[in-house]
Amino acid sequence: MTHIEVTVNGERRSDEVESRLLLVHYLREILGLRAANVGCDTTSCGACTVLLDGKSVKSCTVLAVQASGHEVTTAEGLSAGGELHPVQAAFRQHHGLQCGFCTPGMVMAAVGLLSENPHPTETQVREGLEGNLCRCTGYHNIVRAVLAAADAEQVQANGSAPANAEVTA
């Protein structure tokens, strides 16, 4: 067993874990944070995506011990104070989720994408989310939601409405 200290959603955690324990299983089984899901075994689907020091990572491919000394943010930690994060709100507004299984990972990947590229084009959104699979939406509304979230942040930044606020199907 190995001792780890991780800040998860702003809270300091310390645990003794098996050294082979995956970060996603640490979050789900030990901390009870079950928003991140396991959808594959080849790092292909992204359902387990979380932020590690602000960058999106697939938590099925990070060992819990590797997260020691770092900060992890999950979907649970995005919506502090009961208010949806702008990306979460945009996913709801644009029906960017159906069964919900890919959703926490997709949202975290989108947050990571927008932090690196606050004003992506549609192509950049699609390329940025290529590692996150969704079987329900055909990606259409996910892309709409991420573009809208980017616009919403623009509004917050400069106080004017974005030109393409009207979203068509």
> Rule CB under 8 A: which residues touch other proteins?
18, 20, 28, 32, 34-45, 47, 75-76, 78-79, 84, 88, 91-93, 95, 97-104, 107, 122, 125-127, 129-144, 169
End-to-end CA distance of the chain: 52
**Minimum separation from the CB atom of position 18 to other proteins (A):** 7
Task: Please name the helix (run of DSSP H) or strand (run of DSSP E) that holds residue 145, with its range, or none.
Answer: helix 140-158
Nearer to other proteins, 15 or 136 (CB): 136
> Torsion angle, CA of 30/32/37/43, rounded to 10 degrees?
-30
Residue with tokens 């819990």: 64
Nearer to other proteins, 28 or 160 (CB): 28
**Minimum separation from the CB atom of position 67 to other proteins (A):** 18
Nearer to other proteins, 18 or 69 (CB): 18
**Minimum separation from the CB atom of position 159 to other proteins (A):** 25
Cα separation, 86 vs 6, whole angstroms: 26
Nearer to other proteins, 70 or 95 (CB): 95
Cα separation, 63 vs 164, whole angstroms: 42
